[in-house]
Structure 1
Amino acid sequence: MKKWAVAVSAALLLLSGCSDKEKANGPGPKEPVKEVEDVVQEDVNKELPYHYPLTGVGSETATNSRAVAVMVNNHPKARPQSGLNKADIVYELLAEGDVTRFLAVFQSEKPENIGPVRSARDYYVELAKGLDALFIAHGYSEEARKMLENGYVDNLNGMVYDGTLFKRSSDRQAPHNSYITYDNVLKGASDKKYAMDQSPPAFKFLSENESKTVTGEEAKSVMVSYSSGSTFDSIYEFDASIGKYKRYSDGVETVDYVTKEPILLDNLFIIETTHVVINDVGHKEIDLKSGGSGYLLQMGKVMEVEWKNDNGLIVPIKNGEVVPFVQGKTWVNVIPTNPGLQSSVSFNVK
């Protein structure tokens, strides 16, 4: 018992000595918590190795898939459409009369279903060519038919694949009911032996920090009008809480037909160019090569710009230099020089 008591006393003295030493010299070394936090922060800010060419958004994996450009119907009987919320960039141009159609370009995201798909016009084919995209349409004008049948662009057309690659929806009546799935796009490309692993040419983008310092006049919303009526009026409203634009067509928000997900945009690019009616049907010739005036809206601000065709890409220009887009999705409205930007576009700064 005495030996046990002596051992306990010695242990207590040793602990007491360690405690006194710690008080005198301060606590011993701890785990380098700060260094761990620094490493975590480094990972957060690390530049991703790849970027999608049509959105500028970073990716951990390679982004070298081919773009797919689809003619999408914008008739009121075709609304709401399917897949537009997944498009990297959408071009809106007039077809016949005051009716617009969309060329929706997909690369970073692949929607399950796209449509209603509508017929081609030559100027939409030109836009797809500039992006080296696989072109998807259902039908064509005579000018577009010649281009497609001569292999001007790789393409799949519902006139050939109606009921196979293209399916008719029972929810709507023709010609507003043709759809194609992304799986069928890839199946058709495989059957035609079209290469699908080459990236489209890249647009120029701001970094995320640069996007926070975008300059221009305040413009919280803008309306683009294609006619005296409101059926094809497009209104874009900037939502500061998410830093993106919402789109409305004839007063109704543009959402996906199935998921109800809204169109959310980071860039609005509005340009004017010459439109000439070339036949009794109302088919048009639209000049997408000569350049002209435009507006670029980003982060709730608008900047007057020029536009030019840069090897097939329609890009904004300021003082002779390309103006970068904010990273994300873009919508391009092409309007006739007559009546022009001043008459067709109106802004609300509030």
Structure 2
Amino acid sequence: MWKKTAIAAIAVLLLTACSSDNETTETNDNTAKNNTEQNDAANGQKEEAEQSSFQYPLTGIDAEKESMQRAVAVVVNNHPKARPQSGLHKADVIHEVLAEGDITRLVAIFQSEEPEKVGPVRSARDYFIQLAQGYDSFFVAHGYSPDAKELLTNGSIDNINGMEYDGSLFKRADFRVAPHNSYISFENIEKGADQVGAEMDTPPASFDFVKSEEVSGEDAASVKVSYFDNPSFSPVYEYDQETGKYSRISDGEPMADYETGDLVQLDNVFIVEAPHRIIDDYGRRIIDLESGGNAYLLQRGKLVKVQWENKDGRIVPAGDAAFAPGKTWINIIPDNPGLDGFVTVQ
């Protein structure tokens, strides 16, 4: 009898031991699984954080990876016969500045996006080159003033010019007449850079961007900039509450891409006073882009009066003011009559 009892007791112990071993194995397996899931989640969060840590330097918009593209500056025609233009909706920064008379031209800086083509391309001025140098840009123009030609010939900036590449890199459109019909594709810009031995894999330094979405200032739903009361060069910036951006109206027409119809939409409109002086009978100018001065900064439907400064060759808000992430348009106007004479807030 005692033998049967002993055998039964041993069997119970063995079953208990096996059950304990199974529970321990299951517990260890579950712990390992939980640890693996936690590690995977942590790694996923880390990867997501690393991905979102990259931003385009001139817009502050998140990028999937570090952007290594060099900035490209293109002088774009703004004459009424050149509108609507091509490619401007993809520019990160656009400078609007007087050439001769009361006609403005545009110096468009591309880095985060590349349109298929840009144009019409127009001739350079020395202060256009100065604006492009602030972004270490590869510079594209078709023609030049005497002072601009000297700068380009002396190698002050990597460039290609339609005076040398008309009909090859630069193409003439048949739906417009010269000098309002010169266009260049981004593919040909890259070919041109290769031909002149220009490196294109060094991105520009980043802007400093505002950290908060809160914007103070007076309401500015519609702002007009009048270059000497010429209606063809008196753009209006209209704020859209839904998009949180400004659209630009040129001579009564929304500024849109010729090919796609996409609107030019802006997160910053920066209107700055700068001393202008006419230097010859052709009406060519010297523009002081160094000294700083009064400015209006439009963001998210608000206008604030600030100062501007030249920081490392760029026209930017001074002091605590900064650009918001997104695309920027910079209007450079003569300081006489300045903001009070050229700008109307509606």
TM-score normalized by structure 2? 0.86
- Residues 243-254 of structure 1 aligned to structure 2 (within 5 Å): 243-254=244-255
Structure (1 or 2) with the larger CA radius of gyration = 2
1:61 paired to 2:65 = yes
DSSP-derived class of the 2:232 partner: coil
Which letter maps to 2:271? I
Task: Give the Cα separation in 2 of the matches to 1:246 and 1:226.
Answer: 18
Q: 1:139 aligns with which of 113, 135, 143?
A: 143
Which letter maps to 1:251? G
Which letter maps to 2:195? D
Which letter maps to 2:61? V
Q: Is the 8 A contact 1:305 1:316 kept in 2?
A: yes
Q: Which runs of 5+ in 2 are unaligned?
A: 1-33
Matching residue of 1:289: 290
Change (3 A) 1:267 1:150: same
Matching residue of 1:205: 209
Equivalent pairs counted in the alignment come to 310
DSSP-derived class of the 2:209 partner: coil
Q: Which runs of 5+ in 1 are unaligned?
A: 1-31
Which letter maps to 1:158? G
Following TM superposition, by how much is the alpha carbon of 1:46 offset from its aligned partner in structure 2, in angstroms?
Answer: 4.0
Q: Is the 8 A contact 2:91 2:109 kept in 1?
A: yes
Which letter maps to 2:302? K
1:160 paired to 2:139 = no
Following TM superposition, by how much is the alpha carbon of 1:132 offset from its aligned partner in structure 2, in angstroms?
Answer: 0.3
- The one-character-per-residue Cα deviations of 1:279-334 (angstroms, maximum 9, x if unpaired) are 001111000001110000100001110011011011111xxx25221110000000
Q: Is the 8 A contact 1:131 1:313 kept in 2?
A: yes
Which letter maps to 1:114? V
Matching residue of 2:258: 257
DSSP-derived class of the 2:223 partner: strand
Matching residue of 1:309: 310
Q: Is the 8 A contact 2:102 2:230 kept in 1?
A: no
- The one-character-per-residue Cα deviations of 1:165-200 (angstroms, maximum 9, x if unpaired) are 000000100000000000000001011110001111
Q: Is the 8 A contact 1:125 1:135 kept in 2?
A: yes
Change (3 A) 1:46 1:342: same
Matching residue of 2:226: 225
Following TM superposition, by how much is the alpha carbon of 1:44 offset from its aligned partner in structure 2, in angstroms?
Answer: 11
Q: 1:326 aligns with which of 324, 327, 332?
A: 324
Q: Is the 8 A contact 1:204 1:323 kept in 2?
A: no
1:84 paired to 2:88 = yes
DSSP-derived class of the 2:133 partner: helix
Following TM superposition, by how much is the alpha carbon of 1:228 offset from its aligned partner in structure 2, in angstroms?
Answer: 2.2
Task: Give the Cα separation in 2 of the matches to 1:160 and 1:276.
Answer: 30
**Higher relative helix content:** 2
- The one-character-per-residue Cα deviations of 1:192-215 (angstroms, maximum 9, x if unpaired) are 1100011112111124xx12x111
1:52 paired to 2:48 = no
- The one-character-per-residue Cα deviations of 1:105-163 (angstroms, maximum 9, x if unpaired) are 00000000100000000001001111100000000000100000000100100000000
The list of structure 1 runs, each at least 4 consecutive aligned residues, that deviate by more than 3 angstroms after superposition, is 41-47
